[in-house]
Structure 1
Amino acid sequence: PCGALAVARPDVVLAGGAGGALCRSTDGGRRWRALGQGPRSGWNDLSISEGQTWAVGADGRLLRAAGDRVLRSRIADKDLRGLARRGPRGWAVGDDGTVVTSTDGGETWTGVQPPTDDDLSAVAAPAPDTVVVVGRAGTLLASRDGAGAWQAAHVTADDLHCVTFVDQAHGWAGGGATYGETRAQIVRTVDGGSSWRTIDLPVWGRIRDLCFIDALHGWAAVEDWGIDGDRPQGSLLATTDGGETWLPQWTSPVVLLAVAMGPDGTGWACGERGLTLQTADGGTTWTARDAGTDSTLRAAGVTAGTAWLAGADGAILVGRPAAAAPTP
């Protein structure tokens, strides 16, 4: 995606977008300061941990920021699309099966060779030495030694776009066919990625984003092509049984690309043409908000009742449950 966002705590927010802009706010999104420009096609993923911010993007670029100190480097030859961190360790994944890893807080990086040359879209690190990556054509790989040896799971032939874990055991990845030739799919693990099971959702299309707040409760933003496959729309689905069954909560003529939910039931979803939705009851009801932009919004994050949305054209918005609309 051209937009990415991460939240360290309610007052510290990082947002990256098109044109390589990376901005930092320390007052919950009211004021923003540029940390500098990056690759022109933008940063694709962000992570905030232990007072440091990392970002990865086009041309294998890495940015590390701590306070006013910003370091830039190139750690791969390909575009990087996913980033995961756990303590001083880090993993980044990208095009043509690229995986690079660091054990010293991002100072040095080493390329590793997973058993694929397909594009990789996302990575998660549910345990200190466990890494799970997903990508094109159903690529789903897990490593138990930090990215040395890999175990492949062959559960779907469709692209996987996202992966998330709530603990060391429970994880989900989502994807589907680009033009809705098949039903959108979840693949689920309850053993940290050793085994996976495919679950079809009641829509034709692909999952663009997943959010879980515990082992049972989750939401999916779906690009829904319908059974006739003539035009995509957006759907929000929810599960209360760990992904076994899914029920629709919202349908929109505009494609949804991201969803984020807090443990208190406050959530936001966003997508193309500035579409912004808000809920205060765990998704039982969703309300459309005027985001003040028609830019595509591709990332969402929620913490302590405050939401941040980011996307194309440098769009950065902040909203709160009591607010009528996010504030640019």
Structure 2
Amino acid sequence: MWRFALGVMLGIALASSASAQQWELRRLGFTQNFNAIHFPTKEHGWIVGDDGLILHTADRGVSWQVQTSSVRRTLNDVFFINKRRGWIVGDGGVILLTTDGGQRWASVASVVEEDLYSVWFHDERRGWIVGANGVILFTDDGGRSWVRQISGTDEYLYHLHFQNEKLGWVVGSRGTILHTENGGRNWLKQSSGTQSDLFRVYFRDKKRGWITGSGGLILHTTDGGKTWVPVPSGTEQILLGVTFRKKEGWIVGWDGTILHSTDEGKTWRRVPVPTHERIYAIAMRDDREGFAIGRRGVMLVYRRP
């Protein structure tokens, strides 16, 4: 009997320890929405937001400095391949490029005027952008010039993720999932089984992936997207950013939602955080430190003791 009791107590202790999430509210003094965050290294990270806002940290997020964007548009996503070379996309077809860590951001001539929502690079040369009205752009010269790829849809495309230079996924409005196996020369639809808007897609490898969306939707695949299965989220809030470290996963969303998984995304539970602001994006630098950002300049900092 005592062994059973000890086992139960130990199980509870381990579960409590694994699920304990210490998210602290931090204000940087900005009122603009923070829309995206990216850490290419443990030390260097970037945040982009409304009114052309760009912030940079070189000390693991302890301090953040403004970088000059020279635009006033809403900036929706940022991606760096290393600490010097990065790209930003925004409303009205805005594309920005830096080769010196953001000391100078150059505007790139865009071939579209649609709002651009997500950018991803496989290496210093090859990258993709997605946006409104089915826009998919591709570059093979480091983002200095872009060409359109045929998406086969007019839906809003909100996010993309590539596993390698050929294998990629795009998600968008009304349950849209697009998939390529040849770097975007051909984009084919995958069945999501829903008409809900899909906002983020994330793959851990070629087979295992997750999608977040409206109404608390989480979709999961174990076969590269041939089949997508809903996973209970326990919320009806809009869910956005998703990321994984080892067996742990995090998803963020509206009303201060942060969901946490300790079993590789099979189950999710909401963790308490000191805000009800909308959280748009999350970046875990490792499994012990991370940042969640969102509406009106909200920032949550996670440090596991």
TM-score range, shorter chain: 0.7 to 0.9
Identity %: 26
Letter paired with 1:118: E
Structure 2 SS opposite 1:74: coil
Alignment equivalent of 1:174, drawn from 129, 147, 171 = 171
Deviation of residue 158 (structure 1)?
0.8
Say yes or no: does 1:49 pair with 2:45. no
Could you state the TM-score of these two structures normalised by the residue count of structure 2?
A: 0.79
Matched, 1:142 2:133: no
> Cα distance 1:75–1:125, how it changes in 2: closer, same or farther (>3 A)?
farther
Larger relative contact order (C-alpha < 8 A, sep ≥ 6)?
2
Q: Which has the higher strand share?
A: 1
Residues 188-243 of structure 1, C-alpha deviation per residue, up to 9 Å, x if partnerless?
122233332121301111111112111110111121xxxxxxxxx22111001111
1:279 aligned onto 2:261: yes
Is the 1:62–1:73 contact (alpha carbons within 8 Å) kept by the matching residues of 2?
Answer: yes
Aligned position for 1:304: 287
How many residue pairs get aligned? The number is 277
1:93 and 1:99 in contact (8 A); partners too: yes
RMSD between aligned residues: 2.8
Determine the C-alpha separation between the residues in 1 that align with 2:156 and 2:207.
Answer: 24
1:73 maps to: 68
- 1:241-260 counterparts in 2 under 5 A? 241-250=223-232, 252=234, 254-260=236-242
Tell me, yes or no, if the aligned pair for 1:135 and 1:160 is still in contact at 8 Å.
Answer: yes
- Higher fraction of helix: 2
Aligned mate of 1:59, from 35, 39, 51:
51
Residues 103 and 42 of structure 1, relative CA distance in 2, 3 Å threshold: same
Return 5+ residue gaps in structure 2 as ranges.
Answer: 1-20
- 1:91–1:218 CA distance, 2 compared to 1 (3 A): same
Give the direction of change, closer, same or farther, for the CA distance of 1:239–1:74 in structure 2 (3 Å limit): same
Between the aligned partners of 1:212 and 1:138, the Cα distance in structure 2 is 21
Aligned equivalent of 2:153, options 143, 151, 156: 156
- 1:133 Cα deviation from its structure 2 partner: 0.6
| Residue 102 (structure 2) aligned to one of 103, 106, 118 | 106
Structure-2 separation of matches of 1:112 and 1:102: 10
Which structure 1 segments of 5+ residues have no match? 1-27, 178-183, 224-232, 324-328
TM value normalised by structure 1: 0.74
Q: What residue in structure 1 maps to residue 17 of structure 2?
A: none
Residues 187 and 69 of structure 1, relative CA distance in 2, 3 Å threshold: closer
Tell me the equivalent position of 2:127.
131
**Residues 317/150 of structure 1: CA separation in 2 closer, same or farther (3 Å cut):** same
Q: CA deviation at 1:29?
A: 7.1
SS at match of 2:166: coil
Aligned to 2:88: 92
Larger Rg: 2
